[in-house]
A and B are shown apart, each in its own frame.
Chain A
């Protein structure tokens, strides 16, 4: 058996794959956080809850309406996105003029309510969501077996990340968005409907979280707690990457996922801690974050 640093190569690659999968979700979620923060100046604490909501909507569609995985990939982000739009219209839009910390606190409360509702009805145990038939089984890559669904998650998250990046950097809508980030009053004066832009942005961020949720459903179990476990790690990812750039959020997400996977191989006890340790080191050496601009 081939060994690297005394570790069988299969084990190493296996954990790296797990790291890459986790990293895909870190990247998608920190991307959504960065998009929302860029324009709304709100840290969306409910992002984890929206991710959980996405997984649950997918699960409920399957168990109650018989709507499978592929239609759910469209329906779930739409549903979660609409929910986001409603939240923004009813509540968040009233908080723009005050300290951004209130936005954090409001979305924290929202996260507690969403999580509480699902815990109340579904308990804390996980519900399995079957891998779609098309992606069942695994492929022999020669050096390891790759479960097809996991390969799909990596590809899909890359598509989502690059797609969002293109949308923001290369389209007209994206240019409005970036302009409104720099100077909302001026953009409004040019006749762009900035409040609508804010609503759509939060909706887009929520939809991204929902999409991540349905992608995650077959990998992890669908459980009311899946979001809150993840969101704090994603916050650390965001601190490491800095929220100045979309690309930074994506790259940091994958990097930290891989770092976590590697730690699982060499020092499993620390795998929960490694992201936070990296955050502490980055704060010491580069307080603004790896890709951050100094505020």
Chain B
């Protein structure tokens, strides 16, 4: 039974590590707007939530969606439109965006779960591209210009979101709530079934789980949370454009998750921070962003599949459990 205790030790060590990292992270995020340009941190937080939502699907259910931009960008459009054209308050716009993304997730997921693995990825990519073409042509998205000049307004009619610090802590609260929700989902009995599907789908079927329903539920949750991130981003930047529904955006969220560590809670946040930071740096240097992203993709896949946080976990756990020789 040494195997079991080894695993228990590993699990305990991993929880200790995770708690430490999370406490440090929250502290850093509370301090961040006083040290760094708040808009930049808010952008990071939106993408971090987006990546965490994506990771719920890839990391914990084993489904690679290549179409998550549709939920992120779609929700941004819904939210921006409701706030600008109908004069809705920001919280209502964000709720509408989230609900819209969930509904899209239901339709796309219903079709995509009919196939597995690589086909699943291609179907989600194609459906998202279809949504992109729809957004190019539909009048409400205002085409190439996008929906601009969305008012930030007053949260619940009281808190003025035009004050940068108010906006920041609102975004931080949503980010923490979203990640907490994902953490609860992943560690619930439901989350355990998702993991069992990831590990061995046929076995889960033979144990009597209706795998399709669980996959669809995970897909809708992931879409809704990605939508939440997109809708908040629309309020922060006060616009919604085609950029957020392109396939490049779907690729970007995959990269964030892969770079940070697939199937870890903290990884996607780290990955999102790095990718957004890198893009900001490159934007002024003249070096094309796509080349850099592509290269990171290739390197990650070839030699760095655990990602940064995944790699740290492995090192830390090997040390904590006193067992050397991590065999590759």
A→B interface (CB under 8 Å): 37, 43, 91, 94-95, 98, 100-102, 104-106, 108-117, 119-120, 228, 232-233, 235-236, 238-239, 269, 272-273, 276-277, 279-280, 283-284, 287, 295
Contact = CB atoms under 8 A, between A and B. Distances in A.
A119 B122 contact: no
A91 B295 CA distance: 13
A232 B67 CA distance: 11
B133 A273 contact: yes
Given A111-B294, A112-B290, A273-B130, A239 B115 contact: yes
B116 interface: yes
16 contacts: A43-B118, A104-B118, A105-B300, A109-B294, A109-B295, A112-B294, A115-B290, A116-B289, A116-B290, A119-B290, A232-B126, A236-B126, A238-B122, A239-B123, A276-B126, A276-B129
| Count class of interface residues, chain B | 35 or more
A47 B251 CA distance: 16
A235 B247 CA distance: 13
Contacts of A119: 288, 290
B302 A94 contact: yes
B111 interface: yes
A232 B247 contact: yes
B129 A109 contact: no
B121 A101 contact: yes
Given A108-B297, A112-B291, A113-B290, A101 B117 contact: yes
Nearest to A281: B111
A235 B290 contact: no
B64 interface: yes
A280 B127 contact: yes
Contacts of B247: 228, 232
Given A100-B117, A283-B111, A112 B126 contact: no
A116 B296 contact: no
B328 interface: no
Contact of A112 (B114, B117, B297, B301): B297
B302 to A, nearest CB: 6
A287 B115 CA distance: 7
A197 B166 CA distance: 61
B125 interface: yes
Contacts of A233: 126, 129
B183 interface: no
A237 to B, nearest CB: 9
Interface string B90-122: 000000000000000000000100111111011
Contacts of A113: 290-291, 294-295, 298
